[in-house]
Structure 1
Amino acid sequence: MAKSGSEKNTKNKAKHTKLMNRKKNKAREEKEARKAKLKELVEKMKQKK
């Protein structure tokens, strides 16, 4: 028989998913920013030569 009342764990799961997505997005953005900076530096060094 199904439980009556509020569902057990859905709020925590939703919150956790939200936080984990935020963490993953932050890491991805930092990685892309680092990559862009390196690319820019490489281009700058090629210009100097």
Structure 2
Amino acid sequence: MNALEVGEELTVSVSRSSYLKSICVSFGLQWDKKFTTTTNREQRTITATRIS
């Protein structure tokens, strides 16, 4: 996550959604980076995108 450039994405299984969202909030603050997440219910994935 820390290596993602603005606009890059990381997609994982929806079973890891709480872990991914926690990283986006906690480490995003620590690293001074912002992320957004989207869930794809059909593919059962969650994607984090770095926005700044």
**TM-score (ref. length: structure 2):** 0.29
* Structure with the higher helix share, 1 or 2: 1
Greater C-alpha radius of gyration: 1
So what's the TM-score if we normalise by structure 1? 0.30
Greater RCO between the two (CA within 8 Å, min separation 6)? 2
